[in-house]
Amino acid sequence: MENQENISVPIFTEVDRRVFLENIYPKRRPAVLRGVDLGPCVDRWTVEYLGEKGGDREVKVHVSTVAQMDFLHKNFAYRTLQFNEFVKRASETKHSDFFLCEDESYYLRSLGENVRKEPADLNKQFPDLAEDFHVPHFFEPDQFFSSVFRISSCGLQLWTHYDVMDNLLAQVTGRKRVVLYSPQDALHLYLSGDKSEVLDVDAPDLKRFPDFVKARRYECVLEPGDLLFIPALWFHNTLALQFGVGVNVFWRHLPADIYDKKDPYGNKDPVAAARALQALERALHALDELPAEYRDFYGRRMVQVIQRRTFCDDQDSDTTLPRSQFTKPG
């Protein structure tokens, strides 16, 4: 694709808690952490072992007949399978038992016990497998939000989206390509909520999405045993280059009361942001009372005010505290 260079996500080795907290975390940029001890899972998690230890508990999985899953137009189906059967099917390319077609692909994003209320936690849903996975101690325990299985058939791609928590994505087995975009490039990603409408990040439809080329593309290929730090709000798109098993651990970046309490997925906008977005809808509704020419004029003025008051082009600025806690009023 024209005009789009890849920026490689830096790879750090010999990362311990101190190195992470001093050199990586404050930059608020993605980083691959190679060689961190993830525990015996890296050697143990074969298809057979996962099936045996994960057992026959039921999981709700995505089933897709195409490589690029599209959440906005729902080009995949949700089906329920026993975990051991799911792992077996996800690891093969042709299936004797299938839902839609014999070469369908599978994806699991594990969920909490009470899907609507509780975040996923490997320790609760898969205690025997959780023992094999050592969560890196880079964050404070009270920042922990959820730990989520990400198990994917080879070739399956997950839509570009952001989450509101910091994320350590552990690629335990299999290789995975991850493409990322900065939150500062949000305007070029054609967002619908937390997802980009641009499905094919490698060959985007530039007639529909001409500004997509302006988004700076960051890329890395995760090897088995790698951890990827995805700071909150960074967009990511994953492509399983092989059948693979990952675990992503979400951590709160901000004080707990900033987040929506009814958010088991870690992707609902913080309460203040949701309020601001609702207020914007109300403001736009008020402009509807005016003719187009006036709407245009006041719309432009509003954009300018928003830009002046919120944009912060300095990537290294301190985003660890809400703005009101470090800007002088007035």
Ligand X SMILES: O=C(O)CCC(=O)C(=O)O
CB 87 within 8 A of CB 56: no
How near is the Cβ of 152 to ligand X at its closest, in Å? 5
| Helical packing angle, 292-310 and 271-287, nearest 10° | 160
Smaller CB separation from ligand X, 22 or 215 = 215
How near is the Cβ of 326 to ligand X at its closest, in Å? 28
**Binding of ligand X by 146 (CB under 6 A):** no
Smaller CB separation from ligand X, 96 or 162 = 162
Which of 323, 67, 90, 80 has the alpha carbon at shortest distance from 199? 67
**Binding of ligand X by 105 (CB under 6 A):** no
Q: Which residue of 169, 170, 232, 233 would you call a contact of ligand X, by CB under 6 A?
A: 169
Q: Which amino acid, 308?
A: R
CB 35 within 8 A of CB 225: yes
Give the C-alpha separation, 239 to 180, whole Å.
12
How near is the Cβ of 102 to ligand X at its closest, in Å? 23
222-251 binders of ligand X (CB under 6 A): 236, 238, 246, 248
Query: Which residue(s) pair with 173 in the sheet?
Result: 245
**Binding of ligand X by 263 (CB under 6 A):** no
Virtual torsion, Cα 309, 314, 319, 321, nearest 10 deg: -50
Q: List Cβ neighbours of 124 (8 Å cut-off, separation of 6 or more).
A: 112, 113
Binding residues for ligand X, total number by CB under 6 A: 10
Smaller CB separation from ligand X, 215 or 247 = 247
Q: Which residue of 104, 121, 132, 163 would you call a contact of ligand X, by CB under 6 A?
A: 163
Stretch binding ligand X (CB under 6 A), from 150-158, 184-192, 269-277, 308-316: 150-158
Based on C-alpha coordinates, what's the Rg of the chain?
21
How near is the Cβ of 162 to ligand X at its closest, in Å? 9
Give the C-alpha separation, 10 to 31, whole Å.
5
**Binding of ligand X by 104 (CB under 6 A):** no
Using CB under 6 A as the criterion, which residues of the chain lie in contact with ligand X when the complex forms? 150, 152, 158, 163, 167, 169, 236, 238, 246, 248
